[in-house]
Amino acid sequence: MNRAFWQGKRVLVTGHTGFKGSWLVLWLRSLGAEVHGYALAPPTPTNLFSVARVTDLLQSHVVADVRDGEAVLQALRAADPEIVFHLAAQPLVRQSYHAPVETYATNVMGTVNLLEAVRSCKDVRAIVNVTTDKCYDNREWVWGYREGEALGGSDPYASSKACAELVTAAYRASFLTQAGIAVATARAGNVIGGGDWADDRLVPDFFRAAHARRPLEVRYAGATRPWQHVLEPLSGYLLLAERLAEEDPQFAAAWNFGPADEDAVPVRQLLDRLVSKVEGAQWRETDESALHEAGYLKLDSSKAKSVLGWQPRWGLEEALDKTVAWDRAWRGSNDMQKVCLSQIETHEGAAAHG
């Protein structure tokens, strides 16, 4: 990562009030970028955006919906960014079953609105559209999916993100390349880390149960996922944006940012490791399995490693340690903006010496 590249860069982050978006803003500001945000209000009453005082770091903070195309356009024109990170989304699989129309409207038409707005913003040079590892047509293979594999999705969330991939590819081919705007999509695994309070997400649910002194009830304990600390894919997004800004067409494509193969482990193994680190924590498997979720999912990040020079820096054990340490710091009433920035600095140091 080139710190000098980010000094004074005008950057727009959609979804900046979410878990991943808040960490990204913190990192961008630590690099010296001028950051603008566009998102709904934070998704949960307790949230990283508020706890880490992210709003204090923003040049502008627009609370609006990506489904509102005119609002998206006005925000982009006002921010006049050089680089855009698109993270605004309905991000939960089970929520997509309960609200499929909202999921498609946000994840598909929200992407259309953003890319359409970018076309009238003269200074945008690079866009990173964050989708998901679940955009692949999951055939329960034991090997990792590569960027050229078929897209698909058995649930509205996964399907909507596959649609967002297709929308991005169509806009790149039809409008953005000839306008000198490089756009890429980024597919990451299941992220963990401090400051995630989302409902129906494994690690936040674990900490809620542990602090309430009750066992966590878990569906699909045998499901395998590519677990990684949130800073791992974010480092990939930042590196990808730098390369896109160089206007090399090979970078305007789809990219996987997954963990090492050994860190794609079953849910039960992840929980057993967490239980060993958090006093009094327990979990048990339930029989609830009415809604389909993939049983096995793993990413092949060979392209990012060989072409971008990206590498995951924290293995699963260190990712869990950092997550537990963050939770303890928060419960100890520490300055969580400083805690976040310290973890970012540590991660950058690992990259420098990796």
Q: For residue 351, what pLDDT band results from cuts at 50, 70 and 90?
A: low
- All structural domains of the chain, each given as residue ranges with its CATH number in brackets, are 8-287+294-346 (3.40.50.720)
Asked if 71 and 40 count as a contact pair (C-beta separation under 8 A), the reply is no
The string of pLDDT tens digits covering residues 325-337 is 999 999 999 999 9
Confidence check: pLDDT of 352 > 60: no
* Average pLDDT value over all residues in the chain: 94
Residue range 18-45: mean pLDDT, rounded? 97
pLDDT at position 294 over 70:
no
Cβ-based neighbour number of residue 48 at 10 Å = 29
Place of tokens 């590519």: 226
pLDDT at 138 over 90: no
pLDDT at 295: 63
Q: pLDDT tier at 292 (50, 70, 90 boundaries)?
A: low
Confidence of residue 143 (pLDDT cuts 50, 70, 90): confident
Buried b (16+ CB within 10 A) or exposed e, 92-130: bbebbeeebeebbbbbbbbbbbbbbbbeebeebbbbbbb
